[in-house]
Structure 1
């Protein structure tokens, strides 16, 4: 097999046949003859050098290779459809595709999106969330809101805001922390993917970081859930985590003790001059709305 990709028509036929488990039903959906569906699937199998279906009398079943191939094919076709509709669609309601870090979507975007859409009738924000770098490499999106290094996600970006870190726990635990060294009596829940964390917090409080017992979470949302369950003390990351913290019933420890984080949230895109009009409107709104809240 050479590096050239299979025909898009072959992939569409393969997906329909796999989904319906029938060449005849796939033919009906695609307005083709069953013989044409069978021939295109055969051409794809020859191109790939492996059988994708087990042929039965009145149906077909995916082979192991076909089952493994189906998911990326469906994802690719969906991405192409989203990109086509997002860029060229003529529907009455225009979609704006935004991918966002979960904690930012929950704590920052959710309170403001209704106002944005009310001010721009006919424009609907299609929002999806993620946390890992891999999450942000899939699908079509006009804009991405990420935390950390923006250059890893796109060519151009705007800084949206930073964060403030402070210890947060259940009211029962927080009441027992009267001085910084008391923090070491509980496990400290760390989000390992963040550059700023407990070490920076403890150093600012003049407590030896090495004395702390660390447990790890993959996100601030999970860290808050663990603190709510009594697993230890989390680090709030204000203001993005405010809503999550309130929902978990957590309160600050040590009054107003806090430290400035070293990373920030960024709005990422490939080319400002090439942004579609809905994306430009969203960019202007988001940057202005965050400033109006007094967040930086």
Structure 2
């Protein structure tokens, strides 16, 4: 099947010309002639079947299509440059690429990375976040921190920690909840991607949720933000959500309610024996760092 993915050289030339708004200035940066820049841009436009620049006497400006295309090209070039430098540059063993589910990165990793950097000052960590399965399949990573089934992301993994669920809301809302049944008087903010949500909690509490009113969010961080604006009652997923809960000014609705979740966080990688030195160091640190959080 034919592809429209163009030459990397064409993309580099396009990015420089768009940034400089001049074929001549781009030529100077790329150590090429202006004519060669013009030819490569034209070849790219012909390959894509759309004009990317409007030509003027002494300058060029991006078309609407060119402006829409530029951010993706710049991001792709930066990603490729970073991965190449990290793996094949002056210190390939010290560059580390980790991808984590967002709530874990926000609530657990963020407060531990200063400790990791102090123990391993020679390791340069690039941390990216994701929530959806297709996001975890994009780009290169030494290891990933996922929630749920680790086999869906890699052949080897370590269990890091689980979660505890309990209802949280603004203090004035929480004060009006004295029993699990009272939760049904409020809008319940549900994160639809989780297997354990409000129905799971109600089942453990022996509450029939027939009159429950749900509003949906795509992440726990968003659910906390909605609850902080008086949008309803959210579910804490401790300890990963502790930071988001505190930042949102939320408190537990029922001190005696806390239910173990159904899924856990895992550190995933292709092959433990093939881990590069910085990845081995991160794995050892991660297992130790989370040891005291899963009580």
Same fold (TM over 0.5): yes
- 2:163 corresponds in structure 1 to 163
SS of structure 2 residue aligned to 1:211: coil
Is 1:47 the counterpart of 2:47 in the alignment?
Answer: yes
Question: Counterparts in 2 of 1:224-263, with a 5 A limit?
Answer: 224-263=224-263
- 1:89 corresponds in structure 2 to 89
Q: Normalising by structure 2, what TM-score?
A: 0.91
Q: Which runs of 5+ in 2 are unaligned?
A: none
Q: Normalising by structure 1, what TM-score?
A: 0.90
- 2:180 corresponds in structure 1 to 180
Contact 2:87 2:93 in 1 (8 A): no
Mean CA deviation greater in 55-64 or 233-242: 55-64
- 2:31 corresponds in structure 1 to 31
Contact 1:186 1:232 in 2 (8 A): yes
Question: Counterparts in 2 of 1:37-116, with a 5 A limit?
Answer: 37-90=37-90, 94-116=94-116
SS of structure 1 residue aligned to 2:14: helix
Contact 2:15 2:74 in 1 (8 A): yes
Q: Which runs of 5+ in 1 are unaligned?
A: none
Mean CA deviation greater in 127-136 or 6-15: 127-136
User: For the residues of structure 2 that align with 1:235 and 1:88, how far apart are their CA atoms?
Assistant: 44
For these two proteins, the number of residue pairs brought into alignment is: 295
Contact 1:224 1:234 in 2 (8 A): yes
Q: CA deviation at 1:164?
A: 0.9
Contact 1:93 1:122 in 2 (8 A): no
SS of structure 1 residue aligned to 2:194: coil
Q: CA deviation at 1:8?
A: 1.5
- 2:294 corresponds in structure 1 to 295
- 1:16 corresponds in structure 2 to 16
Q: What is the CA RMSD across the aligned residues, in angstroms?
A: 2.3
Spell out, residue by residue over 1:190-230, the C-alpha distance to the aligned partner (whole angstroms, 9 max, x if none): 11111110001011111112221111112111211222222
Contact 1:170 1:249 in 2 (8 A): yes
Mean CA deviation greater in 261-270 or 211-220: 261-270
User: For the residues of structure 2 that align with 1:230 and 1:83, how far apart are their CA atoms?
Assistant: 43
SS of structure 2 residue aligned to 1:214: strand
- 1:201 corresponds in structure 2 to 201
SS of structure 2 residue aligned to 1:127: strand
User: For the residues of structure 1 that align with 2:175 and 2:214, how far apart are their CA atoms?
Assistant: 21
Contact 2:93 2:278 in 1 (8 A): no
Contact 1:17 1:23 in 2 (8 A): yes
Q: CA deviation at 1:96?
A: 1.9
User: For the residues of structure 2 that align with 1:19 and 1:136, how far apart are their CA atoms?
Assistant: 31
